[in-house]
Structure 1
Amino acid sequence: MRHIISILVNNQPRVLARVASLFGRRNFNIESISVGESEEPGLSRIVIVTHGDARTMEQVSKHLHKLIDVIKVQDLSIQQSVARELLLVKVGATASNRAEIQGIIEPFRASVVDVGINSLMIQATGDREKLDALIELLRPYGIKELARTGITALPRSMQIQPKAHMHA
C-alpha cells in the first residue's frame, strides 16, 4: 500500500540524512521526497512517499519518533489530505504546433513558463495521475527534459459544522 508520510523536524544539519537512512535500513524505497520550511520558524516538513503494509508503517513511525529533531509524524494516507506535485516539462514545439500544445495543456490548468526557438517549457501542478496523463499527451511532441518535485501534502482541515439558525 502507498503511504504519504509527513514528518515535522527541527531544521538542523543531517536531519534529512538520518530520516532517509532509517527508511534505507528497513529496505524501504522512497518513491518521492520533498523538504521545505514549515509554518513554524526553525522547523521543516519532510514529505515521503513509500510503500508498505499498515503494521510496517506503524513501526517506521515509532522509529522516526525516536530520532532526535523529529517533532511530529503523520501518515497522510490514512486521513483526508491534499497532495500535490509540481512538474516542469520541456517539449519540442514549432510555430505550427504551439497552439495545438496550448490546447492540450489548458484543461490541465498548466502554463507555458519558457519559450525557446524549438521548445516550450510547461509548468503544471496536481496529483500524480493528472501529471502522468499530461506527460502522456505531450509525449508525441518529444519530451526534451522533465523534472518533478515529488509530492508535498498536508492534512485537510476539519469540516466546520454550519451553525443552527435560531428563530425568534
Structure 2
Amino acid sequence: MTRKAYIFMDFDGVTHPWGEVEDFRCLPLIEAVVREFPESRIVIASDWRMLFSMQKLVARFSEDIRPQIAGATPHMLPKSGAELHGLREREAMLWLAQHEANPREAAWCALDDAPGNWLTRSRLILTDFKRGFTAEDAEALRRTLNGFRNGGSTQLEPGVTSLWERYIA
C-alpha cells in the first residue's frame, strides 16, 4: 500500500488569482492531479480556515475529492512580526505531529503563493498570485507526488530538524 502524501493548500493566489473574484477557477486543475494520486490528502492551510466551517470549506471541492480532505492546519498566533516568516510551515508541522505516527518522515508538499510562509522551499510549489494554480504548477505537483509514490526522500532538509525541535517536540 502506498503511504499518504499530504498537500498543504492555500486558497487565495492558488485556487484563484489573489484579489480577484473568489471563484475557485483553478481548483479543477488541482483536483485533476489529486485524482491521479488517491493516496494524496489535502490539508487546508489557508486563512479561510479561520473564517469558514470545515463543512463549508470541504463543500468547495468536487464530491469525489472530498474524502481526500484530511482537515485544516491549526492556527498559531505569532508573538512577534519575525515569527510570521515560516508560520504556515510551522502550522503544517504541528498538524503532521498530531496526525502522523512518524511526522518527520511524512510525505508532504505545499501549494502557496507566498514563499515566506514556507522555509522548506523544496516542498513548496509556488504559484503566481496573479494567475493561481497553472498547468506548470500541475506538472510540478505531479512530479512531487510521483517522487513520494516512488519512494523519493521525505526526510526534511538539514536545518529543518531544528524547526521540529523548536515548535513541535
TM-score, with structure 1 as normaliser? 0.26
- Structure with more relative contact order (C-alpha pairs < 8 Å, separation 6 or more): 2
Of Structure 1 and Structure 2, the greater strand share is in 1
TM-score, with structure 2 as normaliser? 0.26
- Structure 1 or 2, whichever has the larger Rg, is 1
